[in-house]
Amino acid sequence: MSEPGRPWRLRAGDTVALVAPAGPVPADRLAIAVSALESWGLRVERYGTVHARHPRLGYLAGTDAERAGDFRDAWLDPRVAAVLAARGGYGCQRMLDLLDWVELRSAGPKLFAGSSDTTALHDAVGVHLGLPTLFCPMPATSYFDAAAAEHLRTTLLDRPGPRELRCPGASTLVPGRATGRTVGGNLSLLAAGIGTREQRQARGAIAVLEDIGEDLYRLDRMLTQLSRSGWFDGVAGIALGSWPGCGRPESVRDLLLERLGPLGVPMVWQLGFGHQAASLTIPLGVPAELDADAATLLVPA
């Protein structure tokens, strides 16, 4: 089972649960996900929603009650060491109020892993259960390529020790070094979570941000909304991931620098996580060190 204080540290033979807290999972992608996880020596338990679709809202993997029920059952199952979102899409926010977080806390430390729409669940697990999580490529998506899978595997199963995250295309936007716990995830979900009880703030933290398929003006609006709400107040540093489908990379870069540069904190561009090939796995809710000069993020592993 997972190590105390490091719920993402698994061992061969551990059982992981695949759930669908958001969108429906393509059958071919599910088969690839199960095969990959089993090849690591893990036992895979598939929950019903990975095969389901909402009867009327086809963008959801089953009803809100069904998706929340799968998450609850997987989390409370003493055999399960980790709960992995098979894919994102949309729907995690809809199920948060159906979960009994006091009940889930009784299960003790456990890992949740996912990205994109599951940013809402990362915040909820962090706020209600006080646990770190893994922001990672999800196994039933096209972003779960060989390099991304290997980085997740080594994060889960290799011997513990600090890990320096870097990417060949990363560069410095604002120089300097910063330390703080990691928070954040998908920009649209962070903006959509403003005012909810699960929203974590970036004060004293290293904010990690990424998104996909958003027009430049929409990124501008979300960054402005987060800024005006106070989300960035006291942030220690910022690590930016990938932004595919959001416009020309240089335009996105210029916007992020224009909106976030005045904060005056170290900031790195394109650190290699998010919706991209060879995506890195980043622990959230853990102490980290951002070296913007070297364009690296040092995290526990």
| Catalytic machinery residues | 116, 210, 275
Query: Are the C-beta atoms of 262 and 233 separated by less than 8 Å?
Result: no
* Both structure tokens of 139: 């196994």
DSSP 56: S
Report how far residue 246's alpha carbon sits from residue 44's, in angstroms, rounded to the nearest whole number: 35
Under 8 Å between Cβ of 298 and 190: no
Residues 241-257, buried b or exposed e (16+ Cβ, 10 A)?
bbbbebbeeeebbebbe
CA 39 – CA 157 distance, rounded (Å): 12
